[in-house]
Chains A and B, each alone.
Chain A
């Protein structure tokens, strides 16, 4: 888990529409629309800032996001990069981000 890194999909793969507190995200390759709440849109934004196809570890992403956000998990004892990695792995399972093992 710890050695996974993640990257945004190319721009054309996702169509995103804000719906108040939610975001509807159409995943073009599968034709599935996901309704997602915070923090998912912000995670996708952060990965998008790094650039499509450019892989970052949860720790690197956390450093980038910490410029804009206070990051908070369920349990203060859990390392935030671990929690962030879990969220990103869930997004990868949905196909909304790419993941790969660190080379």
Chain B
């Protein structure tokens, strides 16, 4: 798995406190995990046409099917009799619709408040829930 030149040499040498200036012959490599280290992240997005199959057309159901739950303005799932809660969306939203909504547009077929409630639900999606991967794919790198 590791193919860095020196990472195969993992002999049990004592850990010294040398910084990144450790000589190339050192058996152990110092891994800098500070915030500065990962700031050099560049993300290359493919041309629009190539994303069509993934980000733009992936689906996010609001909420997951078959639960019969409504969505309150904070995006929480609540029982249908909860005042101020919105019914489930009759159709899934695409990644592109959600992307545009995150930039300030309403989700199609929704009022302003309903759109915000749905977006709040989508923001809370966790790994394993329907639509999470689609939503995660929309995330922009934060720095």
Which A residues are closer than 8 A to B by beta carbons?
A: 18, 27, 29-43, 45, 48-49, 65, 67-75, 80, 83-84, 86-87, 90, 93-95, 98-101
Cβ-defined contact, B34 with A36, below 8 A: no
* Pair B1/A49 contact, Cβ less than 8 Å: yes
B37-45, B64-72, B100-108: which lies at the interface: B37-45
Top 4 A-B pairs ranked by shortest CB distance? A74-B34, A30-B137, A69-B31, A35-B42
> Which residues of the other chain, A, contact B19 by a CB distance below 8 angstroms?
72
Chain A interface helix/strand/loop/mixed: mixed
- List residues of B (1-60) whose CB comes within 8 Å of A's CBs: 1-4, 7, 10, 15-17, 19-20, 28-38, 40-46, 50-51, 53-55
Whether B51 and A40, one on each chain, are in contact in the complex, defined by CB atoms closer than 8 angstroms, is no
Q: How far is the CA of A35 from the CA of B42 in the complex (A)?
A: 5
Indicate if the CB atoms of A74 and B36 lie closer than 8 Å.
yes
Taking A33-B43, A95-B137 as contacts, is the C-beta distance between A72 and B34 under 8 angstroms? yes
Q: Which residue of A lies closest to B29 (CB)?
A: A69
Distance of A98 Cα from B32 Cα, bound (Å): 22
- Residues on A with C-beta less than 8 A from B32 are 38-39, 72-73
**Cβ–Cβ < 8 Å partners of A94 in chain B:** 41, 43, 139, 141
Beyond known contacts A31-B45, A68-B28, A70-B16: 7 more, CB 8 A cutoff: A29-B54, A30-B55, A69-B31, A70-B29, A80-B33, A84-B33, A100-B126
Is there a chain A Cβ closer than 8 Å to B111's Cβ?
no
Among B3, B33, B38, B54, the residue within 8 A (CB) of A72 is: B33
Residues of B within 8 A of A45 (CB): 1-2
Task: Enumerate chain A residues within 8 angstroms of B38, measured Cβ to Cβ.
Answer: 36-37, 39-40, 87, 90
Contacts known (A68-B2, A98-B127); A31 close to B139, Cβ less than 8 A: no
